[in-house]
């Protein structure tokens, strides 16, 4: 039976594993949602750390001293790995919600914003609807499994304290943000185009009929046209979200591969979605 000294020697290594997993609960789909109670999050990440710790090969790591001056910076870098993985996987969902915000503002649906507990920010109904659709696609396409596979596989590629935030991580995050904006424009462009046409048409009509009340005529037509075009383009929207989500999972695996000692510098950028290249 192990003695107390041998158990205490595993505490720093376990803290490193716990910190890397905790980073996922700060920025990641589902896990960072404020709808999940904090106590449940703490219990879940602790349980997952106990499950992951025996399979990460901690016995092959260099001994980690139980010294807070050494363990503190190391835990901070481990948190950064988990946070980076979560942000990479969250960018397509942010892009889809941004597209909903664009369309809602142009259609006049943003006059009464609602609170979205999944992202802890205010958003309109259309943005929340598209966010939930993207979240469903993320789950169906295996995004949760890819996220966990990436964080567990990272333990075999980068030892505790060996990670450094270099330009590869910055390029990957910048590419993912660009891909998210690109996805937002692709999803919202059909509605934005029909709203532009409707605005020009209503402008000509109001010049011809000055007594026409634009508030009672223009906004209902704009909302109906916007929803009609969005419904007609839903198949394309679904394909764009699915393609960007799959590309995000490939980009995550590409960045995880760069953590290895023999990785090529541009290996991560080769897996970025089309909008992030």
Helix axes 68-107, 167-208, angle to 10 degrees: 20
Query: Dihedral sign, CA of 189, 144, 150, 34?
Result: positive
The proportion of the chain whose per-residue pLDDT surpasses 90, expressed as a percent, equals 6
Average pLDDT over residues 87-101: 89
Q: Are 112 and 52 in contact (CB under 8 A)?
A: no
CA 3 vs. chain centroid, Å, equals: 43
Q: Tell me what pLDDT residue 270 has.
A: 53
| Residue 229 CB coordination number (10 Å) | 18
Beta bridge pairs of residue 123: 114
Q: Give the pair of three-digit tokens for residue 71.
A: 């363990």
Higher pLDDT, 110 or 105: 105
pLDDT tier, 264 (very low <50, low <70, confident <90, very high otherwise): very low
Q: Tell me what pLDDT residue 56 has.
A: 75
DSSP 62: P
| Residue 32 CB coordination number (10 Å) | 19
Q: What is the CA radius of gyration of the chain?
A: 23
Q: Tell me how many helices (H) and strands (E) the chain has.
A: 9, 2
Q: Tell me what pLDDT residue 219 has.
A: 76
DSSP 247: H
> For residue 181, what are the domain limits?
4-276
Contacts of 38 (CB under 8 A, 6+ apart): none
Q: Tell me what pLDDT residue 274 has.
A: 57
Residue 79 has pLDDT above 80, yes or no: yes
Query: Which residue reads 């980068």 in tokens?
Result: 158
SS3 content of the chain, % helix, strand, coil (to 5): 75, 0, 25
The proportion of the chain whose per-residue pLDDT surpasses 70, expressed as a percent, equals 78
Tell me which residue of 124, 103, 120 sits closest to 187, measured CA to CA.
103
Tens digits of residue pLDDT in 231-244: 998 888 889 999 99
Average pLDDT over residues 115-119: 54
Higher pLDDT, 176 or 6: 176
Q: Tell me what pLDDT residue 148 has.
A: 86
E strands, 88-194, are 114-116, 121-123
User: Is the model's pTM score more than 0.85?
Assistant: no
DSSP 28: S
Residue 277 has pLDDT above 50, yes or no: yes
Tell me which residue of 32, 25, 28, 72 sits closest to 47, measured CA to CA.
25
Average pLDDT over residues 36-62: 80
- Kindly write down the DSSP assignment for every residue of 95-127, as one continuous string: HHHHHHHHHHHHHTGGGS-EEETTTTEEE-HHH
Average pLDDT over residues 247-262: 82
Residue 58 has pLDDT above 70, yes or no: no
Higher pLDDT, 256 or 63: 256
Residue 71 has pLDDT above 70, yes or no: yes
Tens digits of residue pLDDT in 136-153: 899 898 888 888 888 888
Instruction: Quote the number of domains for the chain.
Output: 1
Q: Tell me what pLDDT residue 125 has.
A: 78
Q: Tell me what pLDDT residue 183 has.
A: 92
Query: Dihedral sign, CA of 130, 136, 141, 147?
Result: positive
């Amino acid at each position: 039976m192990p003695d107390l000294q041998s158990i205490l020697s595993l505490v720093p290594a376990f803290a490193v594993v716990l910190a890397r997993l905790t980073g996922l609960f700060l920025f990641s789909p589902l896990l960072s949602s404020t709808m999940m109670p904090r106590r449940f999050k703490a219990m879940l990440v602790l349980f997952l750390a106990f499950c992951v710790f025996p399979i990460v090969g901690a016995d092959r790591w260099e001994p980690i001293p139980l010294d807070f001056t050494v363990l503190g910076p190391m835990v901070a870098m481990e948190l950064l790995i988990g946070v980076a993985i979560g942000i990479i996987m969250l960018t397509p969902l942010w892009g889809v919600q941004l597209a909903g915000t664009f369309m809602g503002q142009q259609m006049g649906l943003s006059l009464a914003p609602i609170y979205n507990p999944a992202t802890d920010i205010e958003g309109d109904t259309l943005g929340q609807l598209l966010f939930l659709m993207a979240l469903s696609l993320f789950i169906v396409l295996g995004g949760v499994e890819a996220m966990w596979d990436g964080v567990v596989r990272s333990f075999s590629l980068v030892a505790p304290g060996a990670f450094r935030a270099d330009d590869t991580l910055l390029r990957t995050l910048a590419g993912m943000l660009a891909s998210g904006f690109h996805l937002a424009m692709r999803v919202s462009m059909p509605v934005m185009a029909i709203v532009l046409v409707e605005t020009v048409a209503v402008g000509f009509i109001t010049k011809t009929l000055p007594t026409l009340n634009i508030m009672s005529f223009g906004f209902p037509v704009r909302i109906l046209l916007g929803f009609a075009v969005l419904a007609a383009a839903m198949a394309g929207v679904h394909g764009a979200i699915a393609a960007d989500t799959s590309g995000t999972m490939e980009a995550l695996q590409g960045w995880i591969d760069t953590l290895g000692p023999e990785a090529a510098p541009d290996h991560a950028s080769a897996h970025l979605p089309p909008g992030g290249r």
